[in-house]
Amino acid sequence: MSLLRSLAGRRVFFSHCRRSLSLNTRPKREVKLGQPTFETRPHYIPLAGNLTPGISALEYFERRLKLASRLPDKSVLIIVGNTVKFSSGSVFYDFQQENDFYYLTGWLEPDSIMVLEKKGDHGRDEDVALHLLVPPKDPQRERWEGAKSGLEGAYDFFNADYVEDVANASSYISKLISSNEHVFYDNKSGDSPSSNPGSSSSSSSSSFFGFGKKRETLNDAIMNAGKPVNPVKKEVAKLRSVKSPAEIEVMYAAGQISSRAINKAMGQVASETPFQTEKTLAKYLEYQFVKGGCDKQAYIPVVASGSNALTIHYTRNDDLLYKDETVFIDAGGKLGGYCADISRTWPNSRKGFSEPQRDLYQAVLNTNKACIDLCDESLKMSLHDIHEFSVNTLLKELRNITGFGNTTYNDVKVLYPHYIGHHLGLDLHDVPSISRFDKLKEGNVITIEPGLYIPEDRPWPKSFQGIGVRVEDDIVVGKTKDEMINLSAGCVKEVTGIESLIRNGVSTPGIDDELVTLDI
Ligand code: GLY
Ligand code: MN
Ligand code: MN
């Protein structure tokens, strides 16, 4: 874990990155693939050997071996990738790969299936085979949709041992099942395109390969093959819940880019062009995440002026930002599939926080910091233990605030209606099958996000009503406290830091540059 240590002390990120200084000259490239690779987009994946940002082909291979080592001999583990989803007619959503599939292969094209086969010949590496079933290359289709990797790309670049046209999935996988004994597969029969809200049954899957329609046939073939079917998600979650040094480095980048974007937003309050609406602030954050080097925003953010923050999942983001109210944001960028998840609250006022805003903010911040101190494997705490601690800490903090002296434990449950946090990774609420009661382990990445939301009602003190505060950071659990890493440490959260940012704006050199070449 020396990497954790070296990251913990790291102050400057992307010191070697190339930033945009002049227009780029297009190099000649022979290879055409359906997703960015070192060969096709070296500014995005600058290291030969990496398949996706920061993650090497070797690491993907080792993840598969590790998963296979948990399976009995003669197993096949099948993961069906996602299809493109459509919002209406031919208008599609951004493609989101099934994250277990992505975690094990790095493959980012829709309508694909992976099968991990463990033949079980004395546990030798070569007895673990990756089968990728993908859409074949098709010049007609590529004319409209752009390059696809095809079977050749799956073999040459993604290290599949066997490749097959996904149109033959049912017969191909049936044969694999019959030559093995154990099947690992998550029954998706209730998850067919027609039952998926927001998609129309005629258009929710790849139109060229009819994969959506064949999926049910495949599901039936697997479920009726006469072999016991075991779940997949829980097995993969055990691996995904402990991040590798490479994953932590990618998440560190996502956290730092997101932190800078949020600092920049705070720094505009007293500028000549303060944000006027929740919507423009939301879109500014998204743009800054991408300009800083992320691929996209990790989720629809919460951007709430004043009492709008009392709605925990306020995502309308359609109000004005009102003077002297708090600005409450919960937002983060996503890089190489990995999410950042940060909440901050600041005053929309040149004068800084009002007294009630500051009191409440300080109570939440103190709780956030005390909980972060517990993200240490040696303390043998679970996420639930930290949650209980956060409730008790908020109780103590509130009782020190004038007007809240008689606050009870049950009151805190009203003012703090959510949980302290969740695992974070490829999914925003990562690996939900991992119990909140499990002891935290080195390499877990969790959010710490206490909050207080004072209803606009009696008996709560009038001057506090309608204030909502959350302070959320992304923490890598360390073996000891010294080895813990706060991935969002760059995002200002002390009262003095926030008020100074508001007064002086952001002045970090290079903060406005566009990040062109990633250095992970
Ligand atoms: N952004 C959602 C959450 O904090 O869980
Ligand atoms: Mn959040
Ligand atoms: Mn969160």
Q: What is the DSSP string of 75-95?
A: EEEEEEPPPP-EEETTEEPPP
Q: Is 412 exposed, middle or buried (0-12, 13-18, 19+ CB in 10 A)?
A: buried
Q: Give me the CATH code for the 243-504 domain, please.
A: 3.90.230.10
Pocket-forming residues, ligand 1, beta carbon under 6 Å: 299, 330, 341, 422, 428, 449, 472
Question: What's the gap in Å between 248 CA and the centre of ligand 2?
Answer: 18
In this predicted model, what pLDDT tens digit does every residue of 122-147 receive, in sequence order? 655 569 999 999 999 999 999 999 99
Q: Does residue 240 carry a pLDDT above 60?
A: yes
Whether 243-504 and 40-238 are alike in CATH topology: the answer is no
Which helix (H) or strand (E) segment holds residue 34: the answer is none
pLDDT of residue 190: 52
Residue 212 confidence (pLDDT) = 62
Which atom of ligand 1 lies at the shortest distance from residue 313's CA? 2
Core vs surface per residue 85-102: b (16+ CB within 10 A) or e: bbeeeeebeeeebbbbbb
The confidence band for 207, taking pLDDT boundaries of 50, 70 and 90, is very low
- The SS3 call for residue 502 is helix
pLDDT on residue 122: 60
Rg of the chain over all Cα atoms, to the nearest angstrom: 25
pLDDT tens profile 61-72: 999 999 999 999
Q: What is the pLDDT of residue 270?
A: 97
Nearest CA to ligand 1 atom 3: 341
Output the CA 39–ligand 1 centroid distance in Å: 35
Q: How far is CA 492 from CA 12, 248, 267, in A?
A: 16, 21, 10
Domain segments of the chain: what residues?
A: 40-238, 243-504
Dihedrals phi, psi of 95, to nearest 5 degrees = -75, 135
Atom of ligand 1 nearest to the CA of 330: 1
Which numbered atom of ligand 1 lies nearest the CA of 447? 4
Ligand 1 centroid distance, CA of 335 (Å): 17
Query: Residue 18: its pLDDT value, please?
Result: 58
Residue for token digits 């996602």? Answer: 82
Q: 466's torsion region: left (phi>0), alpha (psi -120 to 50) or beta?
A: left
Highest CATH level, class, for 40-238: alpha beta
User: Is the separation of the CB atoms in 81 and 112 below 8 Å?
Assistant: yes
Strand partners, 182: 75
What is the pTM (predicted TM-score) of this model?
A: 0.93
Q: Which atom of ligand 1 is nearest to the CA of 299?
A: 1
